[in-house]
Structure 1
């Protein structure tokens, strides 16, 4: 088995490795910092809203027969069959990025807006998987780098919120970061900002994949 395997089944994009990943995620299920083997982007219907999305995504995990404690999963109304993948390699790492996106609920952070008590699907979902060794701090740094690259795409494409202001994201964006911590690599990445080869490669992969996703098939209301 390769260090990463991608499958799409029953409306679920699943990535898995031959060993648990060190993960950092904002996902509904299995979020936070932990060790997970299965990384999921779960498709839900357009217009999906729920007061208990945690239950809904856990049920999808269980339906697939996956161990919940080994799984991290996020939701999207975008078609997971249209996922855009990009990859890069460098000194002491290989990197793969997977993006699904819709910007029907684009928003600008820092502006007062209507909020919602329940979960509304409509999101840019990004999964970045490293075959490398990263510190926990580097994973946090990578989260910042991804967010900056995402916002750069939205700015360059002129995407705005409902008030016509430049969007910084959507209201429900989610990210999964995962690292193999593969001992074959002697180097330990302690940073993942754009000054580093790892961080710059990550930013380029995210930028290219998200831009392609929005230009070639990103769903406005996803």
Structure 2
């Protein structure tokens, strides 16, 4: 079972360490796509981080810290890990662990981005979703879609703007998301917005991401971005 005790904090990165492999879908920098993984990393990098080969640099980072690259999903962000939110939610026989960081330095409205030039920036929203349950691939993908819909809802309600277009942002240009399940416990064939799983995930992520974005906004008032 994945709980708050599965989270290990190491200063400039946070690791979620599972007892066994989890079934995962992600857009993470390291090991994007679908597969089975035991370790999940959210890492802070400096805002000047632009190595010649970021993927190779991340691989070396993992190896140097004892995480097998083939068994690890990893993301990076300019947000300090002290601002990461880790929340655990239970509903009936299913529970969810969330690890979220929110940086909005490069907020983008995807429906307008074709009209502008966007300079690469390390501000990003990273979302890890861990579900204690048995999910079909369909449910995992539908759950991921619910999470993205929730992100857009939060940014809209908090009036986060794309500075280029002046319209409400739908995310940032470097957002990453990962959804993973233990494949043990309650069975979920579907994970859409009106299913038990999808609505539970939407509620939990809405609360957590709202707090993360509010934390970012509070921090940046009169200060540099976290």
Which of 172, 175, 179 in structure 2 is aligned with 1:173?
Answer: 175
CA RMSD of aligned residues (A): 1.7
Count residues with an aligned counterpart. 216
Distance change (3 Å), C-alpha of 1:16 and 1:84: same
SS at match of 1:161: coil
For the pair 1:31 / 2:32, whether they are aligned, the reply is: yes
Query: Matches of 1:49 and 1:106 in 2, distance apart?
Result: 19
Contact 1:124 1:172 in 2 (8 A): yes
- Give unmatched runs, 5+ long, in structure 1: none
- Give unmatched runs, 5+ long, in structure 2: none
Report 1:49-128 matches (<5 A): 49-111=50-112, 112=114, 113-115=116-118, 120-128=121-129
Deviations 1:56-78 (A, max 9, x none): 21121111111111101011110
Q: TM-score, normalised by structure 1?
A: 0.91
Query: Matches of 2:118 and 2:21 in 1, distance apart?
Result: 36
Query: Matches of 1:180 and 1:144 in 2, distance apart?
Result: 19
Q: CA deviation at 1:115?
A: 4.8
Larger RCO (CA under 8 A, 6+ residues apart)? 1
For the pair 1:157 / 2:166, whether they are aligned, the reply is: no
Q: CA deviation at 1:49?
A: 2.8
SS at match of 2:192: coil
Q: TM-score, normalised by structure 2?
A: 0.89
Higher-helix-fraction structure? 2
